[in-house]
Amino acid sequence: MVGDVVGKPGRRAVRDLLGPLRRELGLHLIVANAENAAGGRGLTPETAAEILQAGADVLTSGNHIWDKKEMVPAMDQEAAILRPLNFAPGVPGRGYLAQGGVLVVNLIGRTFLGNYECPFRAADHLLQTLPDRPPVVLVDFHAEATSEKQAMGWYLAGRVSAVVGTHTHVPTADPRVLPGGTAYVTDVGMVGPRDSVLGDDSSAVIERFLTLMPNRLPVAGGPVLFCSVLIDVDETTGRATAIQRVDRVVD
């Protein structure tokens, strides 16, 4: 699972690393959160295709998926791109798909983020009603509050293979396998400029904090931090056996 890909620097790092990592680690499936891949905010059909062609098998997203209007009609096409399952009924796109023998589910949190449907009940409904789902289930929980993410991990413990947090762009040091065989990490982190504020130019972000005035937040430059986690799952039982951080720096 690859953390939030930020802008062109993030896309370049994905292009350079996914192929070698797939060979080095023997990866079966690569999922990447791509909602910030187009200029640091949102996703376009072109940037989505770039990440998929670089080696990602499924793209997840979150609260920024509608930031680029051209992405709205594209969400109903066949590309392996998800938006959160617990968005309002009737919006474009889908919140889960089965790919390579893995059910990938995208959820979004509500604390500090917005008025979405309950992600806990949405996960319950999907797991209870989806027929013939594969044993391996990966949940990308795109949420702000660490408490909400941890609660989701414990709520789904023993029922899914992994709950991985995205959105904050800051990698956490708590990967573990919860009781019942559910791999968990509070936040995967990002694929974006290391010397930045969440991938954005530090000076611009500091100016906004100092003045409280809206200003443009360009994607920063310099070395790129590539954050991801590697999850080992028994494909027969769907139980995770290990999770570890796989982080790199790309000049």
Catalytic residue, candidates 28, 64, 125, 169: 64
Strand partners, 245: 229
Q: Which structural domain, as residue segments, surrounds residue 159?
A: 4-250
> What's the pLDDT at 137?
98
CATH code of 209's domain: 3.60.21.10
- How many Å apart are CA 133 and CA 162, to the nearest integer? 15
pTM for the whole structure: 0.96
> What's the pLDDT at 235?
95
Catalytic residue check, 167 = no
Total count of domains within the chain:
1
Which stretches of the chain score pLDDT less than 70? none
Sheet with strand 176-178: strands edge to edge: 96-99, 102-108, 136-142, 162-166, 182-185, 176-178
Q: Which phi and psi (to 5°) does residue 194 adopt?
A: -70, -45
